[in-house]
Amino acid sequence: MVTVFTPCFDTGTRTIGLSHCTSFSNRLYNFSSTNSQGPSLNADYVTKLKQQGPRGPGSYFGDVLASRGLFTSDQALTTSQQTTDPSRSSTTNVLAWKANFVPSMIKMSQMRCSLLEAQLQVGFYTSSCPLAEFIVKYEVSKGFLSDRGVAAGLVRMHFHDCFVRGCDASVLIASTPSSTAEKDSPANNPSLRGRRLGYDVPAGRKDGKVSLSSEASANLPAPTFNVNQLTQAFANKGLTQEEMVTLSGAHTIGRSHCTSFTTRLYNFNATTNQDPSLDPLYASQLRQQCPQGSTIPNLVVPMNPGSSATMDSGYYMDVVANRGLFTSDQILLTNQDTADQVNQNAMNVFLWRRKLAAAMMKMGQIGVITDDTGRFDQIVGRSTEGREAYG
């Protein structure tokens, strides 16, 4: 299981060494029913500590609960009691969220696969490539150190691969003159990254041989989806509504292209120029970052401005604060069940992380190929015609 911590310098209590923010953040926020911060802590030092670390574990879900979800699909989590409760729980209990996250990831990675327990296993490559897991972990760690955006990119790539033909690496297949592959679909290009990340993953999946741009557009939920559309899109892959809300929390890291949400900023509808569910101050900031009519194709903004490189509950807090970036984020508040989960995750980041790990593992089981319809590719990005191509 991958656990993400936020390192902070503890300059006041030790002359050398480091401390994780989670070890003392209770002294900075909500110390007691009468004091927001520990009264024995120097006020100037408190200010410095708050600048060095995010608002405790669970800022993603806290943002959702505070109507600060970046996407509509984030903020929409607070519109349903069923989704608000998990969101609120994840805000205050990050360990519980982590515990749920792992099985969800496993479940997603086993979509449409039968007899998975017998066919997929941790250590599948022990005989053929004993160092496989070590090599992957090393390369992902190296990539993350050079570019922290790699983590968000890999999570998104996993999601986009599993939702189209299952988890068969078809998102890596190259296009040909006669067929446009998934990676070049508008749903993936140019925003998909990470083709170059950790919980134990049962291995043994074979790579797919087919990759079609049209299937990416048909299977991947759009950032404009409402709660019913989101719920159905995930149900089609064997994932529950709660797992949908949990996986939406992955928007707490990474960035988005302006083109994915500018319809919420300009000419929203015939009567309103701006999406009324979007926090006005946040909308103003987004308009500055994404000017109307810009011809720059790669303008991006952080999904969770407060802690875009940390797996916390900031996404859910944003949704609650009407700061969900996508329509599909903010819309989570319009359904009582999803809104409840958003609030629960915003308040209990440990619970959210546990649920996220479980949901990611579950997603990783979508449509797994273990028979002769797949192949073990040694060359990443081989096209459907067998040509070598690297993404």
Catalytic residues: 160
Reading the block at residue 268, the tokens are 């929203």
What is d(CA 174, CA 9) in angstroms, rounded to the nearest whole number?
Answer: 45
Q: Are 90 and 344 in contact (CB under 8 A)?
A: yes
- Tell whether residue 170 is among the known ligand binding residues: yes
Apex CA 342: angle with CA 337 and CA 345, to 5°? Answer: 125
What is d(CA 174, CA 381) in angstroms, rounded to the nearest whole number?
Answer: 5
- Tell whether residue 168 is among the known ligand binding residues: yes
In Å, what is the CA distance from 73 to each residue of 59, 78, 139, 200, 294?
A: 17, 10, 32, 29, 25
Query: Residue 280 phi/psi, 5° resolution?
Result: -55, -40
Other Cβ atoms less than 10 A from the Cβ of 1: the count is 17
Q: Are 379 and 178 in contact (CB under 8 A)?
A: no
CA 317 remoteness from chain centre: 15
- Tell whether residue 20 is among the known ligand binding residues: no
Q: Which class for 14: exposed (0-12), middle (13-18), buried (19 or more C-beta within 10 A)?
A: exposed
At 113, which amino acid appears?
A: C
Reading the block at residue 375, the tokens are 């192949």
- Tell whether residue 312 is among the known ligand binding residues: yes
- Tell whether residue 242 is among the known ligand binding residues: no
Closest CA to 181 of 155, 203, 205, 207: 207
- Tell whether residue 221 is among the known ligand binding residues: yes
Q: Provide the sign of the torsion angle of the four alpha carbons 216, 255, 92, 335, taken in this order.
A: negative
Reading the block at residue 219, the tokens are 């299977």
Reading the block at residue 200, the tokens are 């134990």
Q: Give the residue ranges of DSSP H helices in the chain.
A: 43-52, 59-65, 72-75, 81-92, 94-108, 116-119, 132-146, 149-162, 213-219, 227-235, 241-248, 280-289, 314-319, 327-330, 336-347, 349-362
- Tell whether residue 190 is among the known ligand binding residues: no
The annotation places the binding site for heme b at: 251
**Annotated binding-site ranges for substrate:** 221
